[in-house]
Every structure is written in C-alpha cells, then in structure tokens.
Amino acid sequence: METRSYPYAIEMRGIVKRFGPTLAGDHVDLAVRKGDVHALLGENGAGKSTLMRILYGLYHADSGEILVDGRPAVIRSPKDAIAHGIGMVTQHFALASPLTVTENIILGRTPNFRIDMDAAHAQVQAAAGRYGLEINPRAVIGDLAVGQRQRVEILKALYREARVLILDEPTAVLTPQETHQLFTELRRLQQQGLSVIFISHKLHEVMAITNRITVLRHGRVAGNVETRGTDERALAQMMVGRVTRPAVKPPAVEEGDPMLRIADLHAADAKGVPALQGVNLTVRAGEIVGLAGVSGNGQSELAHILSGTGEAGRGAVRVGEKEITHADARAVMAAGVGRIPEDRHAGVVGDLSVEQNLVLEHLDDFRRGGMLDHKRIRSHARALIDAYQIKAAPGDRIRTLSGGNMQKVILARVLERAPAVIIVAQPTRGLDIGATEYVRRKLVEQRSRGAAILLISEDLDEIMELSDRIAVIYEGRIMGELTGAEATTERLGLLMSGVAHAALGAEA
C-alpha cells in the first residue's frame, strides 16, 4: 500500500552527464508526480533530450540516481526502461514503415513462433479502444499521416505497459489540428493514471497541457514551478535567462512594385495528383506575404516551383518582368530569387564544410583560373560567420551544426546576395527561441531593405507576427487573403479548413 501511495512516478537526482568538455547535465533533479503531465522546458541544447535519453537508457549518466516509484532503478538500455514501465516517443519515430500498425506494436512481444494475425489485429484494436486512441491496426505505417504515426508510437508504449510516457517535442511534427487531438488524448490518458514527461520549447503548449514545469538552461535546472502559478513571460525568462524580444515589425513601407507574380499556376505532386489548381498571388517589394495552410495543401509544390526545383504545369510565375515558370534553379537564382528551403538538411550538403556550403550556389564567383580560390572562400566564410553570428568554424562539417546554426548558414548564403524575392519555408521549425527570434528579425530586416518575401509556414503565430498580408492555401487554391490587421486565428483557421472567403464576408 505504501508504494501505491508514493507520490512520484519518476525521480531523477543529481544527474550529471558530460560529453567531452560540455556538461549536458549538471546535477539535474527532476521529480514527476503520478498522473501529471510534466513539462521539461528549455532551449535546444539545454539538456532536455539528454536527460530523457538517460531515463530511457539510451545514454548513461556519469553520476546521479533514478528512482521509479520510489525505488532505485538501474536503466542500461531501452529494454530496462520498458521493463520499468517507461516509454518514449521521439521525433524520429521508431516504426518500420512497410509494416502494419499491429506488426509494429507486437514486435518483440510475440509469445509464439507462429503469429495469428487476425487475433493480433483484434488485440491491438482492443488496446487502442481501451486508451481512446483511434487507429486502424491493419493500416501500413507508411500510409499514415504523421499524427497517426505518433499515435501508433504512443499506443506501442502503452501496449508495453508504460506508466510513464516521455514525449520528445511531440508537436514539432504536428499540424494544429493534430496537436489539438494529441492534447485531448493525453488528458484522457492522464485521467487513466498515466504520467507524461512533455519535452518542448513551445510555451503556449506547455501552458495548455501540463501541470508542472521544470525548466532547463545550459544543463541546469533553471526553474521548477506549478503551471497554474506561472505565465509564458516568466517561463521564457527562465529558459533564456533574459527578457525575450519579439521581432518588432516597423510600419509597412509604402506600397512597392509587384516583384513576384503568380498567375493561375497549376502543378501535380509526385504521384501525379493535382497539387496546385490555379494559384494567384502577388508579393510586392517591401512586404512579407504569409502563406498559411495545413501541410500538404500544395505549399511544398509551390515552394519547389518558385525555387526552380519543381515541375510547373499551366500558369505563369514572374519575377519582375522575367518569367521563371519552367526555369531551373540556376535561372531562378539569376532572376533574383533567394530560397530558404523547408528542410534545412536539403539546403546544405552535410559532409561539406561551412565555408564550402556558403559558396555552393555561386562557385563561379570564387574561381581563380579553373580552380577554386580557397583563400577567398575562407575569408568570405569568416565575414559571414561574423555577420550572422554563426557558432562554427569555417572548416566545420555542416552536419555537426545545430539546427539554428545551420539555418543561419543558409540565411547568410541567401541574404548576402540581397535577393529581390525571398521564398522562405518553415524558417523556424525546430529552432529554439533564440534562433527563432534571430531568423524572424533577419526577415523583417530584409523587408525594410525592400525585398519581396513569401513566407510559407504552418506556424500561425509566426505568420501573424511577421506578415503584412496573409494568403491561405487549401487544396492547391488560395482560399482568401487577409491583411495582417484583419487576420485572427479563427478566421485563418476557417480558411485553412476550406471554408471559402465568401462565407466570411458577412462578418468582414
């Protein structure tokens, strides 16, 4: 009875973890009450993931102890963690995508050599029902949306009798709707007695879903508070150790010339399904136009075409007076377009150094005779590293950089050319507060310089903070445009779900 009433599901005491010279965990204490959703909040690199990887047995602490249910636990591998009732869902899902939901869930828990698939499906279905997680056990993982895959991961952990669930940045890959559904599911699981450790750096989510918050900064506990007794401002201060500054947008510059004009653009996706069905959009010099929408409504295809890496069908794209509808990447760049791609790993070559990545798109400018001028490439890199506060040396392989620094390299490469048009997709996805602020400030700077910026983002807060005008894309069509002043989450949400602009006319 005594253990049953023990208040803490997990206690980590004095955890120290060193990676070479850096202290990723400096005597960290964490106590998670039973039935709580407990946030582990902090910037990227604050030591959240390290701490959780220790709890899940993926790393070993140099010192410190872990108590599960008040009893000391030795956790050397995920297998040990699972045996102690700890489950973890990471951003990179541990699922085999050609396998079915059932197969992924029963993996490693098959009592007999022969598997009765029908019985297994039924078992998984029953478990899903018990936990209120709606999923088709027969579905192949590869066919599922990201939110559904995450649900499978959660179910997989629960199927392994997890009583503590670690969710590592679970909303980073989700749409607003999926996030909403996840929160509903988590609340239900919480009522069933599950404890959740929720790793995040998104303040409003932490405020919305958790009971208690532990803030980490530079590997140390910077704060430990009840969610009810705090607010976003206080949390942000704990996280970064100073007062945060939103990207202050100067008043709109007077109306500039239309720089990017998209007229009746059509395109098909990789499977040949129409992805763009007559997109019309204009971006003027000195303005940021936000393109909002649930992912998969044609944003990627549009970004690819505007970058010269996609296949356009009917319609036209003009930069100034130059048509670039079917141009390749080199021609698009030459026309004055700078591109900051959605997947920053696709925007750099991981095995090349920072300096090489910085000149990758303009090698011709760094030639001496037929050879590359390494001296100039290095001094060029030094100047940009300085100007863009990139925490890296020119010779570092870009693969070793943090997401924020990698994004700064891409920004530096694009912005130093002062492009007339900037296509930027999900610029702050996965970045910490500091880096996010930096990227947004840079975009606003570019706007002041007179660049025409198309900001494609699934982060509505970002869109609303930065945009002069907001267009909403739904199933490959622009559903409507709102000025920054008109836009509210509700109105954008309606447009994003495909409710036509006309329906909003009455209240507008």
Partner 1 sequence: MSDIFSLTFLVGLLSATLRVATPLVYGAMGEIISERGGVLNLGIEGTMFLGAFTGFAAAAALSNAGVAGYLWLGLAAAILAGMIMGALMGLFAVTLGVNQHVSGLGITLLCTGLALFGFRLIFGESDVLPKVTPFAQIAPLGATSPAGVVLEQYLLTYIAFLVVVPVSWWLIYRTRFGLNLRAVGENPEAADASGVSVARTRYASLVLGGALMAVGGAFLSLAQLGAFTPGIVAGRGWVCIALVIFARWHPVRGMWGALLFGGVFALQLRLQTLGLELPYELFLALPYLVTILALALAGRNVAYPGAYLKPYHRE
Stretch that binds partner 1, among 106-114, 259-267, 279-287, 419-427 (CB under 8 A): 106-114
The least distance separating partner 1 from the CB of residue 157, rounded to whole angstroms, comes to 10
Q: Does the footprint of partner 1 cover residue 4 (CB under 8 A)?
A: no
CB closer to partner 1, 58 vs 234: 58
Tell me the two tokens of residue 66: 């872990």
Question: Which of 85, 155, 147 is CA-nearest to residue 124?
Answer: 155
117 belongs to the binding site for partner 1 (CB under 8 A):
yes
Residue 112 interacting with partner 1 (CB under 8 A): yes
Q: What is the 3-state secondary structure (H, E, C) of 35-63?
A: CCEEEEECCCCCCHHHHHHHHCCCCCCCE
3-state secondary structure 405-421: HHHHHHHHHHHCCCCCE
Least distance from partner 1 to the Cβ atom of residue 474, Å: 29
Measured over the CA atoms of residue 428, residue 433, residue 435 and residue 441, the dihedral's sign is positive
Q: How far apart are CA 299 and CA 292, in angstroms?
A: 9
Q: Considering the rule CB under 8 A, would residue 98 count as an interface residue with partner 1?
A: yes
Name which of 31 and 117 has its Cβ closer to partner 1: 117
Report which DSSP code applies to 423: E
In the region spanning residues 252 to 281, those forming contacts with partner 1, defined by CB under 8 A, are: none
Candidates 326, 293, 296; CA nearest to 312 is 326
Least distance between partner 1 and beta carbon 20 (Å): 15
* Nearest residue (CB) to partner 1, 117 versus 372: 117
Query: In the bound complex, what is the minimum distance in angstroms from residue 80's beta carbon to partner 1?
Result: 10
- Rounded to whole angstroms, the Cα distance separating 98 from 78 reads 23
Closest alpha carbon to 178 in 289, 273, 296: 296
Binding flags for partner 1, 443-462, as an x/- string (CB under 8 A): --------------------
168 near partner 1, rule: CB under 8 A: no
List 20, 21, 108, 250, residue binding partner 1 (CB under 8 A): 108
Shortest distance, position 430 Cβ to partner 1, whole Å: 20
- Closer to partner 1 by Cβ: residue 109 or 345: 109
> Which residue in the set 36, 103, 169, 185 belongs to the binding site for partner 1 (CB under 8 A)?
103
What is the distance between the alpha carbons of residues 289 and 451, in angstroms, rounded to a whole number? 11
CB 178 → partner 1: shortest distance, Å? 22
CA distance 359 to 417: 11
Task: Point out which span in 34-42, 112-120, 222-230, 459-467 binds partner 1 (CB under 8 A).
Answer: 112-120
Q: Which of 37, 51, 82, 276 binds partner 1 (CB under 8 A)?
A: 82
Among 22, 63, 110, 192, binds partner 1 (CB under 8 A): 110
122 binds partner 1 (CB under 8 A): no
Contact yes or no for 307/337 (Cβ under 8 A): yes
Residue 402 gets the label, from left (phi > 0), alpha (psi -120 to 50) or beta, of beta
Q: Provide the minimum distance between the beta carbon of 92 and partner 1 in the complex, in angstroms, as a whole number.
A: 9
Residue 94 makes contact with partner 1 by CB under 8 A: yes
Q: How many residues bind partner 1 (CB under 8 A)?
A: 22
Q: Kindly state the smallest distance separating residue 270's Cβ from partner 1, in Å.
A: 10
Give yes or no for residue 106 binding partner 1 (CB under 8 A): yes
Of 113, 364, 369, 485, the residue at the interface with partner 1 (CB under 8 A) is 113
The sign of the torsion formed by the CA atoms of 340, 95, 400, 362 equals negative
Phi, psi for 28 (deg, rounded to 5): -85, 135
Using CB under 8 A as the binding rule, whether residue 109 contacts partner 1 is answered as: yes
Which of these, 336, 332, 345, 356, lies nearest to 285 by C-alpha position?
336
Angle of CA points 230, 233, 235, to nearest 5°? 60
Nearer to partner 1, 5 or 113 (CB): 113
CB of 13 to partner 1, least distance (A): 25
Residue type, 116: D
Q: Among 225, 161, 171, 236, which residue's Cα sits nearest to residue 200? A: 171
Stretch that binds partner 1, among 89-97, 173-181, 335-343, 400-408 (CB under 8 A): 89-97
Q: Are 245 and 267 in contact (CB under 8 A)?
A: no
- Out of 9, 24, 32, 95, the only residue in the binding site for partner 1 (CB under 8 A) is 95
The closest alpha carbon to 90, from 78, 107, 76, 106, belongs to: 78
Kindly indicate which of the ranges 8-16, 107-115, 195-203, 426-434 contains the residues binding partner 1, using the contact rule CB under 8 A.
Answer: 107-115
- Whether the Cβ atoms of residue 93 and residue 174 lie closer than 8 Å to each other: no
Q: Where are the alpha helices (DSSP H) in 398-496?
A: 403-415, 433-449, 460-466, 489-496
- Binds partner 1 by CB under 8 A, chosen from 14, 115, 362, 363: 115
Neighbours of 116 (CB within 10 A): 11
| Between 107 and 331, CB nearer to partner 1 | 107
Tell me if 107 contacts partner 1 by CB under 8 A: yes
> Read out DSSP for 8-45?
EEEEEEEEEEEETTEEEEEEEEEEEETT-EEEEE--TT
3 state SS of 360? helix
By the rule CB under 8 A, 114 interacts with partner 1: yes
Which residues, numbered 6-65, are part of the site for partner 1 (CB under 8 A)? 58
If one asks whether residue 144 binds partner 1 (CB under 8 A), the answer comes out as no
Binding site for partner 1 (CB under 8 A): 58, 78-79, 82, 94-99, 103-104, 106-110, 112-115, 117
